[in-house]
């Protein structure tokens, strides 16, 4: 096989790689419906975690969870959550989306369990609609949501444990950058379920009093449910449809890695996450000192938070920027986490407001010195680092901000 030199073509393509901006956001979470509810909770530090009657069975370590679907019983909660978030995000991005042909709008869904509610119903021989059953399969859930929201371009369902959300955002950007789409709807969803509650309980991974990220006495996580959506598009599309908005928020870079250590436990030294963070900063061409805020994964389990603290120390040394974790507000929303927590970062940037860490009382000894318990205003939030880690050793990091 002879050498084919494509260097010239490749160089041309690299310099023509479109910049990706965020054109719209939508969310339904434990603190309420809509991004505005998220914004308010970010400022007040309110937690959406509650004791849930339906999980008060003594078999479970804890009944504390973040409930987003308050009224009524749903047999297709995954679709409901994702659809509501998409409605809001597409509404915000309407100008861009109506200027793009549907065949050029892609769709990427992030979910760990899709509509697992259907499996519970079928197993118990309870009623389940055809749609509910269909949406047990993540790819079909993605396909149907794409139809509802007029995305006829490439469709994907990403399932990479708790990093699914960040990876779905990256996939959205990649689809645009390699020319397969001009805009992408990225949605993340997971709903609360006995399936997940029982699972984390069997791993003794739930905190009986509710998650306390980075706390000295932390004892585990609290599950949450959410639907979250972000519309991504090319900078030129955004600008031509929003000529008065000078500063959109850019997706500037990302990195992924695997710890290759243990199927549920992260590596103790955080080297895998550190590598993902460094890759994100390098690809974003953003220096360490240019990061103004870090939104951590911060599940509240002893191992995760220790590992993240180690990773941050490895990368930032003694100069770690302000850092906080949001799972005490929303719960651990699994597949939705990367998307909803990125939306929180968008809000932080726009508002110049640093979110705090609900649930945190006394920081652990080895937690970063810049860990914030209370939220507070900031003079400048130009670049934010968002990270997540998950079962199977996966790590992901994203850098977003102003140009």
Partner 1 sequence: MDRTLDMSVSTNELKAKIIESLRLQDVTPEQIEDDAPLFGTGLGLDSIDALELVVMLEKHYGIVIKDIEEGRPAFRSVRTLAEFIEAKQAPK
Partner 2 sequence: MNEVLVTATSAATQADLPNAKMGSRFGRMDLLSQLALLSVESLGVNFESMDRTRIAICMAVTAGSLPTDIEYWKGRREPGGPSPTLFAYTLPSSAIGEIAIRYRLTGPNLCFVGSRANLLNEARDLIDREEADACICIECDVVTAAIATITGLPTKAQARAAFLMRGTNGFLLKENHRDIESVCALVSAAEAARNSSR
- Of 118-126, 216-224, 234-242, 262-270, the window that binds partner 1 (rule: CB under 8 A) is 262-270
Our answer to whether residue 332 is catalytic in this structure is: yes
From the list partner 1, partner 2, none, partner contacted by residue 265 (C-beta under 5 to 8 A by kind): partner 1
From the candidates 90, 128, 157, 297, give the one annotated as an active-site residue.
297
Among 265, 351, 370, 392, binds partner 1 (CB under 8 A): 265
Q: Is 14 in the site for partner 1 (CB under 8 A)?
A: no
Grouping H, G, I as helix, E, B as strand and the rest as coil, residue 100 is coil
DSSP symbols for 165-234? HHHHHHHHHHHHHTTS-SEEEEEEEE---HHHHHHHHHTT-B-TT---TTBTT---B-BB-EEEEEEEEE
310: Cβ contacts below 8 Å, ≥ 6 apart: 268, 269, 270, 366
Give the residues lining the site for partner 2 (CB under 8 A): 1-7, 10, 59, 112-114, 116, 119-120, 122-123, 133, 136-140, 142, 155-161, 167, 171, 174, 177-178, 194-195, 198-203, 255-264, 272, 275, 279, 283, 390-394
Q: Among residues 264, 314, 370, 382, which is the contact residue for partner 1, using CB under 8 A?
A: 264
Helices (H) and strands (E) in the chain, counts: 14, 15
Q: Does 297 qualify as catalytic in the annotation?
A: yes
The tokens describing 156, both together, are 């994907």
178 binds partner 1 (CB under 8 A): no
Q: Which is catalytic among the residues 25, 128, 191, 332?
A: 332
Task: Name the nearest CA neighbour of 127 among 76, 201, 184.
Answer: 76
Q: Which of 366, 47, 61, 362 shows the shortest CA–CA distance to 217?
A: 362
Residue 263 makes contact with partner 1 by CB under 8 A? yes
Q: Rounded to whole angstroms, how far apart are CA atoms 153 and 103?
A: 4
DSSP string spanning 139-170? HHHHHHHHHHTT--S-EEEE--GGGHHHHHHH
Of 203 and 378, nearer to partner 1 (C-beta) is 203
Residue 204 sits in the site that holds partner 1 (CB under 8 A): yes
Given the residues 162, 211, 320, 345, select the one marked as catalytic.
162
- What proportions of the chain, in percent to the nearest 5, are helix, strand and coil? 40, 20, 40
User: Which residues in 184-203 contact partner 1 (CB under 8 A)?
Assistant: 202-203
Residue 370: contacted member of partner 2, partner 1, none (CB under 5 to 8 Å, by partner type): none
DSSP state of 271: H
Output the smallest distance, CB 204 to partner 1, in A. 6
Q: Which of 224, 248, 282 is nearest to 399 (CA)?
A: 282
The window from 145-153, 165-173, 263-271, 331-339 that contacts partner 1 (CB under 8 A) reads 263-271
Catalytic site residue 157? no
β-bridge pairing 64-66 and 105-110: unpaired
Minimum distance from residue 47 beta carbon to partner 1 (Å) = 26
Number of residues that bind partner 1 (CB under 8 A): 7
**Binding flag, residue 302, partner 1 (CB under 8 A):** no
User: What residues act catalytically?
Assistant: 162, 297, 332
Q: For binding to partner 1 (CB under 8 A), which residues are involved?
A: 202-204, 262-265
């Amino acid at each position: 096989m002879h050498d084919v030199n494509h260097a010239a073509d490749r160089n041309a393509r690299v310099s023509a790689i479109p910049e990706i901006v965020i054109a719209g956001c939508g969310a339904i979470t434990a603190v309420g419906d809509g991004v505005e509810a998220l914004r308010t909770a970010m400022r007040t530090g309110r937690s959406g975690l509650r004791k849930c009657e339906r999980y008060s069975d003594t078999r479970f370590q804890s009944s504390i969870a973040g409930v987003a679907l308050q009224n009524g019983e749903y047999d297709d909660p995954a679709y409901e959550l994702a659809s509501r978030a998409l409605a809001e995000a597409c509404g915000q991005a309407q100008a861009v989306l109506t200027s793009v042909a549907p065949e050029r709008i892609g769709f990427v869904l992030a979910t760990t369990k899709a509509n697992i509610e259907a499996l519970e119903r079928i197993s118990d021989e309870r009623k389940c609609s055809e749609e509910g059953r269909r949406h047990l399969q993540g790819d079909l859930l993605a396909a149907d949501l794409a139809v509802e929201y007029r995305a006829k371009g490439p469709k994907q369902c990403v399932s990479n444990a708790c990093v699914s959300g960040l990876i779905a955002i990256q996939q959205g950007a990649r689809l645009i950058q390699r020319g397969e789409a001009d805009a992408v709807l990225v949605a993340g969803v997971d709903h609360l379920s006995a399936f997940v509650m029982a699972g984390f309980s069997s791993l003794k991974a739930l905190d009986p009093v509710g998650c306390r990220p980075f706390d000295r006495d932390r004892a585990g996580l609290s599950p949450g449910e959410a639907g979250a959506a972000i519309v991504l598009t090319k900078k030129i599309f955004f600008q031509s449809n929003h000529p008065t908005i000078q500063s959109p928020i850019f997706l500037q870079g990302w990195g992924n890695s695997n710890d290759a250590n243990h199927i549920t436990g992260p590596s103790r030294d955080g080297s895998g996450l550190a590598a993902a963070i460094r890759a994100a900063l390098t690809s974003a061409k953003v220096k360490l000192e240019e990061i103004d805020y870090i939104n951590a994964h911060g599940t509240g389990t002893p191992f995760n938070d220790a590992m993240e603290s180690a990773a941050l120390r490895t990368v930032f040394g003694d100069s770690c920027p302000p850092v906080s974790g949001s799972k005490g507000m929303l719960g651990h929303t699994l597949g939705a986490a990367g998307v909803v927590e990125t939306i929180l970062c968008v809000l932080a940037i726009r508002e110049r407001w640093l979110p705090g860490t609900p649930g945190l009382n006394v920081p652990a000894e080895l937690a970063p010195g810049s860990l914030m318990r209370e939220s507070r205003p900031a003079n400048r939030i130009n670049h934010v680092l968002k990270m997540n880690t998950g079962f199977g050793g996966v790590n992901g990091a994203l850098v977003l901000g102003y140009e």
